[in-house]
Amino acid sequence: MRYIDQHIKAIISSSDGSLPLVHFLKNYFKQYPVLGSRDRKIISAIIYSHYRCAKGYDSDEWLDKLTDDLTKEPKKVGDFVLANWISENKFEFNINSLFPFNPPFSQGIEKDDWLKSILTQPNLFIRVRKDKDKLLILLDNVHIPYSFITPSCLSLPNGAKIDTLLPADAYVVQDASSQQTGTFFEPIKNQSWYDCCSGAGGKSLLLKDIEPTIQLTVSDRRESILHNLKQRFKQYGHTPPTAHIIDVANSEQLNKSLNKTQFDSIICDVPCSGSGTWARTPEQLYFFNPEKLQEFSLLQKRIAVNVSKYLKPGGRLIYITCSIFKEENEDVVNHLINQTGMHLISSQLINGISIGADSMFVAVLQNKAR
């Protein structure tokens, strides 16, 4: 236990949240190859628990007890549920201390429910693209449990080993709420679409699977991420889209790359606090700086207004965040309406808490017709 405890304290003291925890732990474990698979699982479970609940305790006694419990009985790690452990132990826990700030939340989610969800790792979700019966047989053969969220969305236990089990082109790992954003796209054959903050292309791939005939343009600030996007498109049998390296917050860069191009629809999945995903990335909750919220909101407003200029008359903009805060959601939509004259068709906070998924905000706006 002392050996494990030393590593736990070293990780906590050296991590500042600037690197995602999953990558930080991977790099840390590379430095200590003597740590076996069992040790890494124990340490990872404890570190994630620390970022989920440490601010709810007045001392580190809970951490010593948790370390003792999981070190003595490592078999518990696979079935470990932090919320159950907290309720079974007598340390005083104040869940409201996990997030002592009070930014307005978007309609459709309550702070108490959101805080409770932080204590549990969300599920793994896949979007089935083809060969569903074959995928289900493969899962059944190795006794991996699953449930259907929709006919094409499967929920599996987090950490299920499917990457070498299932055919790579038959499914996409994608959160259930992220998959649900596709119901707002409503593409028409041969339309022109622009995914302005594409990242690795989760929404773009979803769009192309819904309507393969669309003419797609994507952009991102990072050349490496666009390279990954193109590789994923090839893997899934789609022709890679036209891609631009652009900081869409910079109107001059946009104009230089797109010039007078106009699109039928634009997906505007903007950088955000990620608060709807903090159950997956609890270190972001732990290190959250409330001043960043205004920075994100200003950036989102700038991006949304900039890209709206490339909509055709009557075109649609789908504004998306993985935030649950009003300042990043409804407030940005209202700003966009006031600045551009677009009108709101629909908006929704997709609350994924009940199914162990992320939460996301989606708004569909339509440009003025000539």
Average pLDDT over residues 249-253: 96
Confidence of residue 76 (pLDDT cuts 50, 70, 90): confident
51 contacts: CB under 8 Å, gap ≥ 6: 21, 282, 283, 285, 286
63-91 b/e (C-beta count within 10 Å ≥ 16 → b)? beebbebbbeeeeebeebebeebbeeeee
Q: Is the CB of residue 160 less than 8 Å from the CB of residue 144?
A: yes
- Given this model, what pLDDT does residue 75 score? 79
Is the pLDDT at 169 greater than 70, yes or no? Answer: yes
Is the pLDDT at 198 greater than 90, yes or no? Answer: yes
Q: CA 336 to CA 342: how far, in whole Å?
A: 7
Average pLDDT over residues 256-278: 97
- Given this model, what pLDDT does residue 1 score? 64
Q: Is the CB of residue 361 less than 8 Å from the CB of residue 349?
A: yes
- Given this model, what pLDDT does residue 78 score? 80
Domains of the chain, CATH where assigned: 2-98 (no CATH), 124-173 (3.30.70), 176-366 (3.40.50.150)
Nearest CA to 154 out of 131, 136, 181, 178 is that of 136
Instruction: Provide the 10 A C-beta neighbour count for residue 301.
Output: 20
**Bridge partners, residue 155, by sequence:** 125, 147
pLDDT tens digit string along 96-143?
999 999 999 999 999 999 999 999 999 999 999 999 999 999 999 999
Kindly report whether the global pTM for this prediction surpasses the value 0.75: yes
